[in-house]
């Protein structure tokens, strides 16, 4: 006896089979949308392979939120275009593209992708955003024409403590310290009849330390309590020439004792004498150095004059304040003889500004990208603005927001300035966004 399959059941099996075949067998796709868009590594645009591009299939646009580096060349680069299905063809700005030739993305590009059916297509507007401003350039603005009107200024020195910016001004028979209440307004914080050598100011954790002009007495000043306290006198027979930093909770100084250079350190109201052959070098500076600390830790003495008063082309550094070495092994790698310059460490670079060579004020900024071993002229976009008056005895400070402050100094006519300039490396703002 034969079994009969009902007609309805047979039709169901046939439809099911056909539908299943549609799902599993290749077809001529009408999908003409881009799934992803990116670039492989390219020497002319080194960072472009790390840039993420957004593909908007609704508005038919492709773009990158994070801009490609300023110095990248995007005139000859090859994109990778991936579709949801295979394409039968791609055109760029109306011309057929073989997916291997380089393209010019300096301007928006019109990219049309055609589906495998050779009929369905979509056209995307592709924009490769690139930084228009050099991220390494420094933008300068003058915030104050004069902190104060003081006659017979001898020296100025800015410092940063307690998240505030200060400027000490040394004049005849007095010393004044001003604080920045705002970037365009300063007020007096202390007036002392003692004339301090303000170029030797050293910042401790919560106060500053200053020497008297004769190098025999040392004071501290607390910017919160406004108290000025005498700390100690120099050891008998020693004349302190310069305070060189606050290292390992101790104040370090350069002194002269019977014509011999000596490093002293001060803590708990006592001085200790550190004798080290490294400071006996003729080029070791005893005063007028640009002082800075690498990574807020390792002290540097840049330039200055030696015990005989000769200006130096040197960068002395120490890991602990006791043993010093000159990082510049040849004059060809230095910044030239200079004294009373200013130096900062920022963006993994050391900058040295201003100063004088004994005959004239130096107007060339130098930069070191290897922590002080070699130096080169700053590039045009790293130089001080043309409207800045070249000077010696200026101060350079970096605050906790990575703003650079240039304050004070004496120009070639011998006039002292108390104007304030604020600098910003463009990339600092890019990173904040």
Q: Is the dihedral of CA 181, 211, 342, 328 positive or negative?
A: negative
Write down the pLDDT at residue 275.
66
| Contacts of 167 by beta carbon, 8 Å cutoff, 6+ apart | 147, 156, 157, 158, 159, 177, 178, 180, 186, 395, 407, 408, 418, 420
pLDDT tens-digit readout, 347-371? 999 999 999 999 999 999 999 999 9
CATH number of domain containing 302: 2.115.10.20
- Does residue 107 sit in the same domain as residue 151? no
Asked whether the predicted pLDDT for residue 23 surpasses 60, the reply is no
Q: Can you tell me the distance from the alpha carbon of 280 to that of 260, in angstroms, rounded to the nearest whole number? A: 8
Among 127, 161, 185, give the residue marking a domain's end.
127
Of 393, 405, 407, 429, the residue nearest 140 (C-alpha):
405
3-state secondary structure of 300: strand
Mean pLDDT of 332-342: 96
- Does residue 101 sit in the same domain as residue 154? no
Mean pLDDT of 387-416: 95
- Does residue 159 sit in the same domain as residue 189? yes
Quick check: is 16 in a domain?
Answer: no
Share above pLDDT 90 across residues of the chain, in percent, rounded to a whole number: 68
Q: Can you tell me the distance from the alpha carbon of 353 to that of 344, in angstroms, rounded to the nearest whole number? A: 9
Quick check: is 66 in a domain?
Answer: yes
Q: Can you tell me the distance from the alpha carbon of 79 to that of 317, in angstroms, rounded to the nearest whole number? A: 48
State in Å, rounded, how far the first CA of the chain is from the last one.
Answer: 83
Write down the pLDDT at residue 1.
42
Write down the pLDDT at residue 414.
94
- Tally the domains of the chain: 2
| Per-residue pLDDT band at 28 (split at 50, 70, 90) | low
Among 76, 100, 127, give the residue marking a domain's end.
127
Write down the pLDDT at residue 190.
87
Write down the pLDDT at residue 259.
84
Asked whether the predicted pLDDT for residue 22 surpasses 50, the reply is no
| Per-residue pLDDT band at 125 (split at 50, 70, 90) | very high
Q: What is the mean pLDDT of the chain?
A: 89
- Does residue 304 sit in the same domain as residue 395? yes
Asked whether the predicted pLDDT for residue 411 surpasses 60, the reply is yes
- Does residue 285 sit in the same domain as residue 213? yes
- Does residue 422 sit in the same domain as residue 319? yes
Q: Can you tell me the distance from the alpha carbon of 278 to that of 202, in angstroms, rounded to the nearest whole number? A: 22
| Per-residue pLDDT band at 268 (split at 50, 70, 90) | confident
Quick check: is 54 in a domain?
Answer: yes
CATH number of domain containing 43: 2.60.40.2340
- Does residue 327 sit in the same domain as residue 386? yes
Q: Can you tell me the distance from the alpha carbon of 107 to that of 75, in angstroms, rounded to the nearest whole number? A: 9
Write down the pLDDT at residue 320.
78
Cβ pair 356, 340 in contact under 8 A: yes
Residue 297's domain spans which residues?
138-233+278-432
Quick check: is 253 in a domain?
Answer: no
- Does residue 223 sit in the same domain as residue 85? no
- Does residue 113 sit in the same domain as residue 172? no
Write down the pLDDT at residue 15.
40
- Does residue 115 sit in the same domain as residue 176? no
Q: Which residues pair with 315 in a beta bridge?
A: 302
Q: Can you tell me the distance from the alpha carbon of 271 to that of 230, in angstroms, rounded to the nearest whole number? A: 14
Global pTM value: 0.77
Quick check: is 28 in a domain?
Answer: no
- CA distance to 149, 190, 241, 288, per residue, from 216 (Å): 29, 22, 9, 18
Q: Is the dihedral of CA 269, 270, 275, 281 positive or negative?
A: positive
Among 91-105, 310-324, 400-414, which stretch is predicted with the lowest mean pLDDT?
Answer: 310-324
Quick check: is 303 in a domain?
Answer: yes
Asked whether the predicted pLDDT for residue 12 surpasses 80, the reply is no
Quick check: is 367 in a domain?
Answer: yes
Give the gyration radius of the chain's Cα atoms. Answer: 33
Asked whether the predicted pLDDT for residue 60 surpasses 60, the reply is yes
Q: What is the DSSP string of 118-186?
A: SS-EEEEEEE--B-SS-TT-EEEEEEES-S---SSEEEEEEEEETTEEEEEEEETTEEEEEEEEETTEE
- Does residue 415 sit in the same domain as residue 331? yes
Asked whether the predicted pLDDT for residue 7 surpasses 60, the reply is no
- Does residue 82 sit in the same domain as residue 150? no
Quick check: is 7 in a domain?
Answer: no
Asked whether the predicted pLDDT for residue 201 surpasses 70, the reply is yes
Among 96, 127, 158, give the residue marking a domain's end.
127
Asked whether the predicted pLDDT for residue 26 surpasses 60, the reply is no
Write down the pLDDT at residue 430.
60
């Amino acid at each position: 006896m034969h079994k009969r399959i009902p007609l309805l059941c047979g039709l169901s099996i046939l439809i099911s089979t056909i539908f299943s075949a549609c799902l599993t067998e290749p077809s001529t796709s009408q999908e003409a949308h881009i799934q992803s868009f990116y670039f492989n590594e390219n020497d002319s645009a080194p960072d472009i392979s790390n840039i993420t591009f957004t593909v908007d299939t609704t508005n038919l646009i492709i773009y990158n939120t994070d801009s490609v580096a300023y110095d990248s060349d995007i005139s000859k680069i090859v994109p990778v275009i991936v579709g949801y299905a295979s394409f039968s063809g791609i055109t760029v700005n109306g011309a057929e593209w073989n997916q291997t030739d380089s393209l010019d993305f300096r301007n928006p590009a019109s990219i049309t992708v055609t589906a495998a059916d050779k009929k369905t297509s979509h056209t995307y507007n592709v924009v490769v955003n690139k930084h228009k401003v050099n991220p390494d350039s420094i933008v300068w603005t003058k915030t104050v024409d004069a902190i104060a009107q003081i006659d017979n200024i001898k020296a100025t020195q800015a410092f940063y403590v307690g998240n505030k910016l200060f400027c000490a001004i040394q004049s005849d028979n007095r010393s004044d310290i001003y604080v920045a209440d705002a970037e365009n307004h300063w007020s007096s914080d202390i007036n002392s009849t003692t004339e301090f050598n303000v170029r030797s100011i050293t910042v401790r954790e919560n106060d500053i330390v200053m020497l008297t002009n004769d190098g025999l007495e040392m004071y501290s000043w607390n910017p919160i309590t406004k108290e000025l306290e005498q700390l100690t006198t120099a050891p008998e027979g020693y004349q302190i020439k310069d305070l060189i930093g606050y290292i390992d909770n101790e104040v370090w100084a350069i002194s002269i004792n019977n014509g011999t250079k000596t490093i002293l350190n001060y803590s708990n109201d006592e001085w200790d004498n550190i004798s080290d052959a490294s400071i006996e070098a003729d080029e070791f500076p005893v005063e007028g150095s640009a002082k800075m600390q690498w990574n807020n830790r390792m002290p540097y003495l840049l330039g200055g004059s030696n015990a005989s008063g000769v200006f130096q082309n040197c960068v002395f550094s120490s890991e602990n304040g006791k043993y010093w070495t000159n990082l510049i092994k040849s004059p060809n790698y230095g910044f030239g003889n200079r004294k009373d310059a200013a130096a900062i460490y920022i963006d993994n670079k050391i900058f040295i500004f201003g100063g004088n060579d004994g005959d004239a004020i130096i107007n060339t900024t130098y930069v070191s990208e290897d922590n002080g071993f070699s130096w080169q002229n700053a590039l045009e976009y790293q130089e001080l603005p043309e409207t800045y008056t070249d000077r010696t005895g200026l101060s350079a400070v970096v605050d906790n927001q990575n703003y650079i402050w240039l304050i004070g100094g004496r120009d070639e006519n011998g006039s002292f300035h108390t104007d304030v300039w604020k600098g910003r490396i463009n990339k600092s703002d890019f990173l904040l966004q």
